[in-house]
Amino acid sequence: MQIGPYRVVEEVARGGMGVVYRAQGPAGEEVALKVLLAHRAANPRARRRFELEVRTLSRLRHPGVVPILGAGEHEGAPWLALEFVRGETLEARLRRGPLSISDTLRLGRQLAQALSYVHGCGVLHRDLKPDNVLLQGEQARLTDFGLSQDEQGSLSRVTASGAFLGTPGYWAPEQARGETEDFGPWTDVYGLGAILYACLTGHAPIVANSLQEYLRTTRFKRVPEPKLARPEVPAWLNALCVRCLAVVSFSRPQTAEEVARALVLEEGGDDAPPRARAGRGRAAAALLLALGVLGALGAGAWWVQRGRGSRSAGPDAARVSSPQGLPPAPAPARPLDATEGWSEEGATRARLEAGEHEAVIVACDRALAEDPSRVAAYVLRAQARYDLGRGEGALGDFDRALELEPRHPAALRERALLKAELGRPEEALAELGRELELQPDAVLYADRGVILGSLGRLREAIADWGRSLALDPQVARVHVNRGRALAQLGRFEEALADADRALELDPGLEFAQLDRAQSLAALGRHAEARRSLDRVLARTPDDPIALTLRGVSLALLGRREEAEADLRRAVAVDPSNAQAWAELGACLVDQERPEDALAPLSRALELEPNYSEASGYRGAALVRLGRYAEGVADTTRALNASPGRPNPRDFANRGGALAKLGRYPEALADLSRAVELDPQNVDAWFNRAGVRSVLGQHDEALADYGRALALEPEDDALYWERGMLYQKLERFAEAAEDYDHVLALDPGFVLAWAFRATCRANLGQFTEALADYDRALALEPDDASRLASRGWVKVQLGRHAGALEDLDRALELGLSADSAPRIHELREEARAALAR
């Protein structure tokens, strides 16, 4: 088969989006040919994503990045040709065990340097994981940039509506929470840290068993240090890894360059941790990418910037007209294009807005050669250099502009943000403070809030955003920023109010809908959180991320059929995503449909063999199907994948399966670990009580039943099992009391009537025992043993004629050889009594 100038040699891989071939070019060179599948080529979103990869890769040329060699279209389907890399993925290598410390350092340096280059080109990778690292000899190379700027990618990535972007186990917390506007170089730094962690330990830093659990894990817990799993890891490398994996994004190194420098400087040095570079401002680091990756998402940072995409002095894109009676927002000190006398200024400004940065620099160079006092030319050239990541050059231009015009608003604002990016946030804050003392300005307050937020000074940031909103209450993104800071401080009611106000001002801010859903969920208002997701899906009904999130929300609300429908839709939209399959399987397990759950869970594991969530849930399904040995194998696999972060449910399921296999000491150990990790796990307490009963630990078993009943006081099975243990121990009054609870919950339970009757008879309560036997025999009239027992009770009550009827009927139905002699004795006793 011929595709463009390339002759296909063989198929290498195939997925839900496309197929990869090994092919030969006209000169015999080998290439990897990626072709979008025909049905995907007809999907505008999929086609946009594929074309995005072409555009992204065409900008990148670095030894650590697999380059594009060509692109085109074949029979209506787009294709791209990449350099063919002979070697294996890092994921395949890690299946054989962790790397040596020296290999980890070499690979980490290469990846950090490649990422630093990529970020300098205005691109984020946003799906860093071992499977996207190719090993070619001693060189590690990044691949799969198909979602580096995608607005509506498939599940496990981000969409325009927000949600996840990345791969389970390697997500940054902001990715797991769907905070797309919080993405920046620090997001890739987390992925880089996760890869370093996997190289050192052999597994991902975070493992969870459901989407909801992953959200909780990444937000509230720290990743265990790699040194715990591998003591020989140097202390400085351990500390660097932990910093990269910080839950709070501004606690991480803010650039890949910083990580690369640490790896270069410290290798071979002493065991001290590397000196951190002065904190680089988040806001400015995001702005570096504003016209690249993050600009496509309509946001510049975790703390969203006001309108940097358009540098005009007009209204912000997120601002609406002032309500009647409110004064208009104060105007800036002067418009950006007020400098006169340069005929090409308007055209140059248009080129800047179009992203033609080099052309802008050439035009400004020419203008300044003619007249070195043209302030506008310095500002425009600074802005172009800023967008290209040439920070020092941009800073010099801003400085010269402000020498000529000390209060130029664009130069003041953007120089402050740039200084924050360059690790000089205190200078930036001081400059903005001086300007604000001269004249309060809503935009400058908002920008100062961004810098303060990037430094973790949330309360001060909230105060500045409040001042900004007091001057101009119509800017949706300032409400978003303040709401996020409030949520970080646990002030969810106030955060919700800001999200609501942002949506009033700009209903199209889908990430504000997701912020709103997050606050609602934190307040326990799950139904309202689900409705927020409904609104997102009204805009993008086939978004697999939103479908999955809503499916999980519905499951938490107990609406499992609707949850299943959403999750089935998600896998139909994107059948190549393991997470959607795993969530569907989990939903079916929770619906007590373990057999139906096996197929989706197995599919998830085909796509992601190390996906511990899928292993854990499949283990649970197998245990419920009575396939205990297989259940033990799958739950062990899940636990081995996360030795530092075991899931208590997996211990509980494995413990239950081990008990069924008669391996009681092992079962007891697993169930004890389960209740230690999760004291709210009723099943673990219940099963441990059963194991302890078998092992003769009766008092401990009764205590475990008590703990389970404290959690589930309406569970008839718990009362039943404890009642039987009391009866076995001849504690008949306590047993009868437990059977009371059982029968109150389930009056049709025949054995409970019969067992309570036995307890009452042993307590000498023959009248009550007779009534219980009557109820049992009314439900099952031909039970010989119960007829015989009732006959005995009637003898005790002197009702000999009735006793004879019961005993004769019991003998007629057939009793065991051991029981028959005693029945004959009772018959003779009853006959003798009647004869007297």
pLDDT at 55 > cutoff 60 = yes
Q: Report the Cα 609 to chain-centroid distance in Å.
A: 18
pLDDT at 106 > cutoff 90 = yes
Mean pLDDT (whole number) for 150-179: 50
pLDDT at 520 > cutoff 70 = yes
pLDDT of the residue at 58: 67
| Residues ≥6 apart with Cβ < 8 Å to 300 | 181, 283, 286, 287, 289, 290, 294, 308
pLDDT band at 5 (very low <50, low <70, confident <90, very high): confident
Buried b vs exposed e over 695-734: b needs ≥16 C-beta within 10 Å? eebbebbbebbebbbeeeeebbebbbbbbbbbbeeebbeb
pLDDT at 697 > cutoff 50 = yes
CA dihedral 371, 375, 379, 382 (to 10 degrees): 50
Could you count the other beta carbons within 10 Å of the beta carbon of residue 561? 10
Q: List the single range of 228-237, 248-257, 456-465 with lowest mean pLDDT.
A: 248-257
Domains and CATH numbers, the chain: 2-83 (3.30.200.20), 89-279 (1.10.510.10)
pLDDT of the residue at 482: 95
Could you tell me which residues are beta bridge partners of residue 8? 23
Could you give the 3-state DSSP secondary structure of residue 107? Answer: helix
| Residues ≥6 apart with Cβ < 8 Å to 616 | 209, 634, 635, 638, 647, 649, 650, 653
pLDDT of the residue at 51: 65
Phi, psi (rounded to 5 degrees) for 453: -60, -40
Choose the most confident range, by mean pLDDT, from 282-291, 314-323, 511-520, 608-617.
608-617
pLDDT in tens, 469-519: 999 999 898 999 999 899 888 899 999 999 999 999 988 777 788 788 878
Are the CB atoms for 89 and 134 separated by under 8 Å? yes
pLDDT of the residue at 428: 84
Query: Which of 266, 219, 202, 218 lies closest to 240, judged by CA?
Result: 266
pLDDT in tens, 587-638: 999 999 999 999 999 999 999 888 888 999 999 999 999 999 999 999 999 9
The token duo for 610 is 């190390």
Are the CB atoms for 50 and 146 separated by under 8 Å? yes
The token duo for 65 is 């990045």
pLDDT in tens, 6-40: 898 998 877 656 788 889 888 888 888 888 766 55
Mean pLDDT (whole number) for 767-788: 94
pLDDT of the residue at 59: 64
pLDDT at 266 > cutoff 80 = no
Could you count the other beta carbons within 10 Å of the beta carbon of residue 273? 16
For the CA atoms of the chain, what is the radius of gyration? 35
Question: Distance between CA 417 and CA 446 in Å, rounded?
Answer: 11
pLDDT of the residue at 269: 41
Mean pLDDT (whole number) for 374-386: 90
Mean pLDDT of the chain: 80
pLDDT in tens, 381-425: 998 888 787 888 888 999 999 899 887 877 887 888 788 777 888
**For 619, how many CA atoms within 13 A lie in the half-sphere containing its CB?**
28
Higher pLDDT, 756 or 523: 756
pLDDT of the residue at 152: 36
pLDDT of the residue at 456: 84
Ramachandran sector of residue 87 (left: φ over 0; alpha: ψ -120 to 50; beta: rest): left
Could you give the 3-state DSSP secondary structure of residue 157? Answer: coil
pLDDT at 356 > cutoff 90 = no
Place of tokens 């995005």: 52
pLDDT band at 134 (very low <50, low <70, confident <90, very high): very high
The token duo for 439 is 């004249």
| Residues ≥6 apart with Cβ < 8 Å to 470 | none
pLDDT of the residue at 323: 28
- Percent of the chain past pLDDT 90, that is, above it, reads 40
Cα–Cα distances (Å) from 546 to 46, 219, 519, 543, in that order, read 17, 19, 17, 6
pLDDT of the residue at 155: 30
pLDDT of the residue at 148: 42
Query: Which of 758, 762, 680, 693 lies closest to 721, judged by CA?
Result: 693
| Residues ≥6 apart with Cβ < 8 Å to 465 | 445, 446, 449, 478, 481, 482, 485
pLDDT of the residue at 247: 74
Mean pLDDT (whole number) for 99-121: 89
Could you tell me which residues are beta bridge partners of residue 74? 77
pLDDT at 363 > cutoff 90 = yes
- Which ranges of 682-781 would DSSP assign to H, the alpha helix? 682-694, 698-711, 716-728, 732-745, 750-762, 766-779
pLDDT band at 110 (very low <50, low <70, confident <90, very high): very high
- Percent of the chain past pLDDT 70, that is, above it, reads 81
pLDDT in tens, 180-213: 666 788 889 999 999 999 999 998 887 655 445 5
Could you give the 3-state DSSP secondary structure of residue 65? Answer: strand
CA dihedral 281, 284, 285, 288 (to 10 degrees): -170
pLDDT band at 567 (very low <50, low <70, confident <90, very high): very high
pLDDT of the residue at 145: 65
Place of tokens 């999980």: 552
pLDDT band at 585 (very low <50, low <70, confident <90, very high): very high
- Which ranges of 1-43 would DSSP assign to H, the alpha helix? 38-41
Query: Which of 259, 305, 308 lies closest to 280, judged by CA?
Result: 259
pLDDT in tens, 415-456: 887 887 778 888 889 888 888 887 888 888 998 998 898 888
- The full length of the chain comes to 836
pLDDT at 268 > cutoff 50 = no
The two counts, helices (H) then strands (E), for the chain are 41, 9
Query: Which of 71, 8, 79 lies closest to 37, judged by CA?
Result: 79
pLDDT band at 757 (very low <50, low <70, confident <90, very high): very high
pLDDT at 330 > cutoff 60 = no
| Residues ≥6 apart with Cβ < 8 Å to 707 | 675, 679, 685
pLDDT of the residue at 640: 92
pLDDT of the residue at 582: 92
pLDDT at 161 > cutoff 80 = no
Are the CB atoms for 654 and 670 separated by under 8 Å? yes
Mean pLDDT (whole number) for 335-341: 38
pLDDT at 267 > cutoff 70 = no
pLDDT of the residue at 383: 87
